[in-house]
Amino acid sequence: MSPEQLRVIKDNQDSIFDQLTIEEEEQQPNIHEYPIDGKFAIISSFCAMFLSVSSWGVNSAFGVFLNFYLTSDTFPGTSQYDYALVGGMVVFFGQLLASISIILYKLFGFKKITFIGIILQTIAYLLASFAVKFWQLFMTQAVLVGVSFAMIFVPATVVLPTWLNKRKATGLGICFSGAGFGGVIFSLVINSLITKTGDQKWALRMCAIVTFVMSCISISIMRERRDVKVIKRPKLSIQSVIDISKQIFDLSVFKAYAIKLICVYYTIAVFAYISILFSMASYAKSLGLNYNQSSALTSIINGVQVIARPGMGLIGDKIGRINITASISILFAIILYGYWINATTYGSLIGCCVLIGMFIGVGGTMPQIVASDLIILDGIPDKFPAVWSGMNLVSCWFCLVAEVISLAMVRYNSNRPFLHTQIFLASCFIVCFLIMLVIREWAVKRTIEQRLTSLESSTTEQDQLIKKYKDLLSSGFIPYLRRMFNIIKV
């Protein structure tokens, strides 16, 4: 790879999402535009965060609904697995339809698609509040809400990075923190309404009203970045849909094994995230804690994520996104093994949930950012939509059954009914850590190859550096390990 190619890749690094902005017609240099990484970028980050609050934030509080459904037998004859599927279906459709949402965004624009999603979500929650049979709840709180999430949140994650450069991980961390912020707020309010009214109806209506207002305000402020160019969207036709679909469903981007592995990492991490978040209230109840205490634990996990997600993004920008992702994965596994398994009192569970909240968001925050770094290193910076689409298409199937699998491992006749579930979920993050180590070796190798290409042998110091790089790039198990654990920002 030549220095000129490296320069082109570097230039593209700050605009990997820009190819989602549609065809350009003509230059208009006098059009005013807010600067990248400026004040409007921060405002957009918070707007995206509130869209996250209105979508995934509400779903983060599903554990409160699940705990109520399981304890009150709201819909007689419904099994615990059926209830668990409600939360799983939201995540399933939210991820499965992410690719379709991107296609619709490219055809119709950010505001139109997002507003349609807001209307659909509002209708879904209102209809769910009037459900008298489980299939009605399933079609509304599960299916329709999941579809609306894809239309509300996905376009925001496409628009936001175009406003960010050096603060990309930080800005996306703020955006993704909405899942935790919404989780803590909605957990407390939903729990309060259920306690006061005795059922879930007004809690669902509250979700409809609050998310509608919050989302409408956010999309009225947030907008696409157009630089100094007039953007013209393609005319709606079969051919334009086919052309865009080919970009979104381009499987050639997964030729590099590191890009395949980040897809696997994302799947496992999000699977474990859903299982832990939805299971915590049920686990607390199995220890004899009351309904309010169990719900409070879910709120704590979500509340800590409000600070933790932007924090890990900020640290990732400083020390390397792959580095921080690997570190958090192993630390989280240790916490789950050493603390959660042994937390059997309300006090110890509060401390445990604080630590869990600090690290549990790694699966929802960092993989997207790491994937963008990997495709840059692979020389295909314009292929991010295809990678992000593929990651969601794979993970959605596992997220669908995440809580069902977790509940299936519970042994209610045991004195430690959730032990198998806890060990399994902790092991998931051990696997995530090992996967990230392999990804790190690949990233370090590509980074060294690029540095070596840009060096010219002209001084003794450069000759020594070239020799060092060549030694690191040599074949064999020892050089492989040296690359894996090399102290370098990736």
429 with 451, same domain: the answer is: no
CA distance 353 to 368: 25
Query: Which pLDDT band holds residue 239 (cuts at 50, 70, 90)?
Result: confident
247 with 153, same domain: the answer is: yes
State the CATH number of the domain containing residue 10: 1.20.1250.20
Task: Evaluate if residue 230 carries a pLDDT over 50.
Answer: no
430 with 331, same domain: the answer is: yes
205 with 300, same domain: the answer is: yes
Q: What mean pLDDT comes out for the span 222-227?
A: 75
Q: Give residue-wise pLDDT tens across range 444-464.
A: 999 998 888 877 666 677 778
Count: domains in the chain? 2
The pLDDT assigned to 280 comes to 87
- The pLDDT > 70 percentage for the chain reads 90
Task: Evaluate if residue 22 carries a pLDDT over 70.
Answer: no
* Least confident segment among 113-117, 154-158, 242-246, 285-289: 242-246
The pLDDT assigned to 307 comes to 85
Q: What mean pLDDT comes out for the span 391-409?
A: 86
Average pLDDT over all residues of the chain: 84
Q: Give residue-wise pLDDT tens across range 104-154.
A: 888 888 899 999 999 999 999 999 999 999 999 999 999 999 999 999 988
Report which of residues 231 and 346 the model is more confident about. 346
Query: Which pLDDT band holds residue 20 (cuts at 50, 70, 90)?
Result: very low
457 with 382, same domain: the answer is: no
359 with 469, same domain: the answer is: no
Highest mean pLDDT among 12-16, 434-438, 456-460: 434-438
The pLDDT assigned to 4 comes to 41
Question: Does 138 reside within a domain?
Answer: yes
418 with 440, same domain: the answer is: yes
Task: Evaluate if residue 11 carries a pLDDT over 80.
Answer: no
> Which residue range is the domain that position 114 belongs to?
3-18+36-226+237-446
Question: Does 121 reside within a domain?
Answer: yes
The pLDDT assigned to 232 comes to 53
The pLDDT assigned to 340 comes to 94
363 with 331, same domain: the answer is: yes
382 with 453, same domain: the answer is: no
Query: Which pLDDT band holds residue 281 (cuts at 50, 70, 90)?
Result: confident
Question: Does 23 reside within a domain?
Answer: no
Query: Which pLDDT band holds residue 227 (cuts at 50, 70, 90)?
Result: low
The pLDDT assigned to 9 comes to 40
462 with 355, same domain: the answer is: no
Task: Evaluate if residue 381 carries a pLDDT over 80.
Answer: no
434 with 451, same domain: the answer is: no
Question: Does 28 reside within a domain?
Answer: no
Question: Does 134 reside within a domain?
Answer: yes
313 with 462, same domain: the answer is: no
Question: Does 25 reside within a domain?
Answer: no
Query: Which pLDDT band holds residue 353 (cuts at 50, 70, 90)?
Result: very high
Q: What mean pLDDT comes out for the span 396-412?
A: 85
Report which of residues 167 and 1 the model is more confident about. 167
Task: Evaluate if residue 226 carries a pLDDT over 50.
Answer: yes
The pLDDT assigned to 475 comes to 87
Query: Which pLDDT band holds residue 268 (cuts at 50, 70, 90)?
Result: very high
The pLDDT assigned to 235 comes to 66
Question: Does 141 reside within a domain?
Answer: yes
Query: Which pLDDT band holds residue 234 (cuts at 50, 70, 90)?
Result: low
- The pLDDT > 90 percentage for the chain reads 36
Query: Which of 95, 93, 91, 115 has the alpha carbon at shortest distance from 105?
Result: 115
Task: Evaluate if residue 19 carries a pLDDT over 60.
Answer: no
Question: Does 231 reside within a domain?
Answer: no
